[in-house]
Structure 1
Amino acid sequence: MEYILLVIIGLCSGIIGALIGLGGGVILVPATLFIGLTLGMIPDLTPQKVVGLSVVMMIATGLASTLSYMKSKTVDYKSGFIFFIGSGPGTILGAYINKGIDLPSFNLYFGILLIILAIILLIRDHIKPLQWFVKHGKKQTFIDSKDGKSYEYGYPIWFALFLNFMIGFASGLFGIGGGSMIVPAMIILFLFPPHVAIATSMFMVFLSSIVNSASHIYLGHVPWLYTIPVIPGAYIGAKLGAALNKRLKSNTLVILLRIILLLLGIRSIYEGLF
C-alpha cells in the first residue's frame, strides 16, 4: 500500500512542481513524512532519508519539465547555468548539515520554511517589480514567439550567485527544489517573464538536483526501496504539469498551494515543538 501512495505522491509532486516551477519537494517531503511516520507505514523513515528520496525525485521532475519547456523555447540556459554555479555548492553544504538534524528540529525548521514560502507566494503578486537589479546587472532580452513581445530582464551576477547559494543550501538541507524561492526572485527582482522564470527554474532544479543527489547518495541518505516507486510518478507528473502550464492560468493552484503550505507549516512546527 505504501508503494502505491508513494507513486501518487510522486505524481502530485511532479504536476505541482512543474506547473508552478517549485520542483515538487515542498509537497513530497511533508506528504512522505506523514504516511511514513504519522501513519506508521514506513517506521524506519528519518528526515535524512526523506530528503534523500526527495532530491533524487527532483532529477526526474527537473528533467521531464526541462525537456517539455525546451520545446516551447522558454528556457534561459545561460541564466540557468549561472544560477546553478551558485546553488551547486549550497546544496552540498546543506546535505552535509542535514545529517546532524533530528526529527523534531527538522519538523520545526521545515515548518518555518514552509510558512515563509507561503508568505512569498502570497505577496509576490502584490509587490512591484524592482528596476535596480536590472539597471545594475547584465541585461538580457527575450522575444515571445507567440505574441512577438520583447521582455528585458537582468541581474548582477554576484547577487545571483549569492542568492542561489542560499537557495541551494535550503534545498540540500530540506530536500526542496528551490524553485519556490527563485521563481518569485526572478520575477520581482530580475524582471523575468513568468513563463521564462518557471522554465529556467526547472532547468536549474534539474542541474542542482544532480549535485544534491550525489551528496546525499554519498552520505547514505537515499532509501532506494522507497525512491524507485516515486521516480516514474514524478516524471509523468512533471510532463503533465509542464503541459498544463502552457494551457492554464496557475493562479487558482497558487492560492490553494498557499493554504496548503501554511497548514503544513503550522502542523510541522507543532510536531517539532510538541
Structure 2
Amino acid sequence: MIGDVSALLAMFALGLAASTFGAIVGLGGGVIIVPALLLLGPSMLGTDIDTAMAVGVSLGALVFTSLTSTLTFVREGKADLRSALFFSISSGPMSVLGASLTSLFDPDAFRRAFGYFMLFMVVLLLLRNRIKPYQGKWRYVRSYTDAAGARHEYGFNALPALVIGGVVGMISGLLGIGGGVLLIPAMVLLFRFPPHIASATSMAVIFVSAVFGSGMHLIRGEWDWLLVAALAPGALLGGWFGARISRRIGSVLLIRIMCGALLLFALRMIMT
C-alpha cells in the first residue's frame, strides 16, 4: 500500500503523533490511528482501508508504542507490573476473542453505543471528587509515594480486576484502541489508582492485549506488514517521548487530558 516517500513520512508522522498522545494519557494511540486510516487512507495511501484491516494495523503499532512507554515507566518506578499482570490474565485471551469478532459486528450501531458509554465515563471522571470513595477492603493493596512525599494507597480484588481486564481486552481486540479508555477510569474511580500510576500501568496491560489481538488479526489476514512497518518507527519514538512528557504533567491536568481524549473519541464514535 505504501509506494512513495510522502506516504512513508505520513505514516511516520501518524505513528509519532498518535503514540506520543496515547502514551501521555495511557490510551495507547489507537484512538487516533484507526480513524486516521479509515478516513485518510485514500489521501495518504491512495486506497481505502476496511475496518478490520485498520484495527489489525493499529494493534500492530500499539505493540511498539506500549513496549517503549512501559519500559520508560518501569525505569521511573510508575508502572505497577504486579497489578498489570492481574488485568492481563484476562485481557490477553479476551483480546483474541475481540479480534476474531471485528468483522461480524454492525459497525455503525456498535460505535454509537460505545460512544455514548464513553460520554458516561467522561462524566464520571469529571465528577470523581464528588463521588464517595470506595471504603471497602482490598485483598491486594498497593502504595505509591509521589515526588512531594505524599503516600497514596490503592488496590483491587481479583475478580473485579479479571472482569475489567477481560472487557478491556475484548474492546482492544475489537476496536484496536488499546483499551485504556475503559481501564484508566476503572483504575482511578474504582481502585483509587493515582492518575500517573493508572496511565503507566494501563500501557503495560495494553502491550499484552496488543500482542494477542494483533496476532489474531494477523492469522485472519486482517494485517498489512508494510503499514505496520511504516508506523513502527514513529510508534517506538512516540511511546518513549509520551512517557517522558507525562511525568511533567500534574495529576489534575492529566485527568483533564484523559477526559478530552475520551470526549473526542466518543464524538468520533457517535458521529461516524
TM-score (norm 1): 0.88
Note if contact 1:62-1:206 (Cα within 8 Å) is conserved in structure 2. yes
For the aligned residue pairs, the C-alpha RMSD in angstroms reads 2.1
Rounded Cα–Cα distance in structure 2 between residues aligned with 1:51 and 1:223:
11
Q: Map residues 60-209 of structure 1 onto 2, 5 A cutoff.
A: 60-101=64-105, 105-127=106-128, 128=131, 130-132=133-135, 135-144=136-145, 146-209=147-210
1:137, distance to aligned residue in structure 2 (A): 2.6
**Whole-Å Cα distance in 2 between the matches of residues 34 and 12 of structure 1?**
16
Which residue type is aligned with residue 33 of structure 1?
L
TM-fit CA distance, 1:213: 1.6
Q: In the aligned structure 2, how far is the partner of 1:80 from the partner of 1:255?
A: 22
Q: Give % identity.
A: 31
Residue 141 of structure 2: SS of its match in structure 1? strand
Distance in 2 separating the partners of 1:29 and 1:137: 37
**Change in CA separation of 1:118 and 1:130 when aligned onto 2, cut-off 3 Å:** same
Q: For 2:198 and 2:36, locate their aligned partners in 1 and report how far apart those are by CA, in whole Å.
A: 26
Instruction: Report deviation, 1:82.
Output: 0.6
Q: Deviations along 1:134-156, whole A, 9 cap, x unmatched?
A: x2432423232522322211112
How big is the shift at 1:195?
A: 1.0
Partner of 2:14: 9
Matched letter for residue 264 of structure 1: R
**Is the 1:129–1:188 Cα contact (8 Å) retained in structure 2?**
no
SS of match in other structure, 2:142:
strand
Code of the residue aligned with 2:41 in structure 1: it is: G
The match for 2:53 among 46, 49, 52 is 49
Cα shift at 1:100: 3.0
Per-residue deviation, 1:26: 1.1
Which sections of structure 2, spanning at least 5 residues, go unmatched?
A: 1-5
Match of 2:24 in 1: 19
Measure the CA separation in 1 of the matches of 2:245 and 2:237.
Answer: 12
Shift of 1:203: 0.8
Shift of 1:256: 4.1
Contact 1:167–1:181 (Cα < 8 Å) also in 2: yes
> TM-score, normalising length from structure 2?
0.88
Does the 8 Å contact 1:151/1:193 carry over to 2?
yes
Amino acid at match of 1:198: S
Give the CA deviation at 1:259.
Answer: 4.7
Query: Partners of 1:114 and 1:5 in 2: how far apart?
Result: 27
